[in-house]
Structure 1
Amino acid sequence: MIETQAWPVEKKRCIIGYLDHSTNNIILDAVLTDIGRQFLARNDGSFSIVKFALGDDEIDYSIIKKFGRTVGKEKIEKNTPVLEALTRGNLGQKYRLVSISNPNLTKLPSLSLTGVSDSTLSLTRSTTAGDISKKVTIEQSVSGGGVLAPELTDASFKVTIDNLFLSIPGLGGPDSINADNIATYIIPADPITNTSNLGALTMTIQAKSVSNSVHTTYKQKGGSVVQKVVEISGMNSGAFTSFKVQIS
């Protein structure tokens, strides 16, 4: 799948997908996303496609592990279902490909979390009941150590959170909010203080003050908390991690 977009990243304006066809012809299908239509409707020159990205959302790489590189590649090419272009930019191309110039690269970085216990962060809506906000640190790491290639050092991170229950204070609001009320923040990384070129981000996750009726509507069945997921990805490395937030 091919995606064209303009900054910020979440404002995808056009998504191009392949149409399934009985012949060997490759048919491209380009559609404007909802945001793209909004910009085009303005008729003020704000609609501009400035770059594109490639993704592999459809690919199941476990087939390579199961059948080997040669047979697995053939099975992927012949049996992978084709994703058509979507008008909702938040659903298209969740996994972008990364271009790396180093031909000798053998390791990719991952993201680790500090301040989150068992991949879950607990917050409350009232200061009298507990913590309404907590700090979380995301750090790049390389298995076995070593120096990270500079082009994979994350200078910023993309963070997506539920905009109804959560916020990241001190940033002046999210960069974008999609139709599902999921907020996206593009946050600069902390200054690098190590010699391994590993990026890091320290941020505060804060619970919003919502009414008891809203909380009751969204809380887990048979439970007393609302559970949401925070997703973080490195803008250069593409490394991804997530954790749950339970709000009481």
Structure 2
Amino acid sequence: MGFLDHSTNNIIIDAVLTDVGRAFLARNDGSFSIVKFALGDDEVDYEVIRKFGRTVGKEKIEKNTPVFEAQTIGNLALKHKLVSISNPNLLRLPSLSLRGDGLDSTSSTLDMSRSGSGSSRTVTITQSIINESSIDVELRDQAFIAKLPHMFLQMKSETPDNVDSNNIATYIIPRDASITALGGSQLKLEIETKSITDAQFDVYGNAGDKTVISSVVGIVGVQSGATKEFEVQISR
């Protein structure tokens, strides 16, 4: 959903189906049913509050923030979803950290190869929090949503729950049984490269180096809403 026009006192909301919703509707078998909705704050720049304070900053956000129009592409809609938490004294939210083989020093880029040992990498997603002794129970992720470019990558021994029209595969994976000292969840993922041809490298390779394909993998905690994105570079 999105606002069409908020220049007057009338609030006009535009609601559209995403590509996934349209696919369910097109089945015409009764499987299409809207059972819940989510809200997001993708447009909000919270640095405004840091700069002007809560009172003035809140007013500036409410009056001056443009609102995105409704998106039919599910991957672009609601990247930062809101969560409902009953704890009124909550001060900090957990984040997701990444570790594993093939990662650079900043854990922002994963190096892989089309074949050989680099064609499979194991990474671990871990919930962490700063300046707190534990993670609130309501924010401990029981599952994670992983989004991968289906043309190039896959999760070992996992079947995607959905592959959208942009060839992005979505996996919903339960957390590992073990937890961290802070009570946070973690998940070990084994990412594999698919069979990539030379022609695909010629088409999808980086502009400056056609021997490397760069893409992005995204992980989202279902309960916390925390997001971790990292680049994957696949060498020919």
Asked whether the two chains share a fold, i.e. TM above 0.5, the reply is yes
What is the number of residues matched between the two proteins?
230
Secondary structure, aligned partner of 1:136: strand
- In structure 2, do the counterparts of structure 1 residues 220 and 17 end up closer, same or farther at CA, with 3 Å as the change threshold? same
Amino acid at match of 2:219: I
TM-score by length of 1: 0.87
Q: 1:213 aligns with which of 182, 199, 202?
A: 199
- In structure 2, the residue matched to 1:61 is 46
Structure-2 separation of matches of 1:222 and 1:43: 46
Question: 1:1-248 alignment to 2 at 5 Å?
Answer: 16-115=1-100, 116-118=103-105, 119-127=108-116, 130-171=117-158, 173-223=159-209, 224-248=211-235
What's the Cα RMSD here? Answer: 1.5
> Runs ≥4 in structure 1, deviation > 3 angstroms?
none
Q: What is the TM-score when the length of structure 2 is the normalising length?
A: 0.91
Percent of pairs with identical residues: 56
User: Matched residues in 1 for 2:90 and 2:221: separation?
Assistant: 18
Go from structure 1 to structure 2 and tell me whether the alpha carbon gap of 1:25 and 1:169 turns closer, same or farther (over 3 Å shift): same
Flag the 1:80–1:123 CA change in 2: closer, same or farther, 3 A: same
Kindly provide the CA deviation profile for residues 50-79 of structure 1, in whole angstroms up to 9, marking residues without a partner as x: 111111111111111122211111111111
Note if contact 2:180-2:186 (Cα within 8 Å) is conserved in structure 1: no
- Structure 2 distance, partners of 1:39, 1:207, is 29
Distance in 1 between residues matched to 2:19 and 2:140, nearest whole Å: 32
Structure 1 residue 194: Cα displacement: 4.0
**Cα drift, residue 38 of structure 1:** 3.0
Distance 1:136 1:44 in 2: 39
Letter in 1 for 2:163: I
Would you say the 8 A contact 1:220–1:227 is kept in 2?
yes
Mark the runs of 5 or more structure 1 residues left unpaired by the alignment.
1-15
Distance 2:20 2:180 in 1: 40
1:145 CA displacement: 4.5
CA contact (8 A) 2:141 2:185 kept: yes
Decide whether aligned partners of structure 1 residues 49 and 106 sit closer, same or farther in structure 2, where only a CA change above 3 A counts: same
CA contact (8 A) 2:38 2:82 kept: yes
Q: Which runs of 5+ in 2 are unaligned?
A: none
Q: Which letter does structure 2 place at the counterpart of 1:228?
A: S
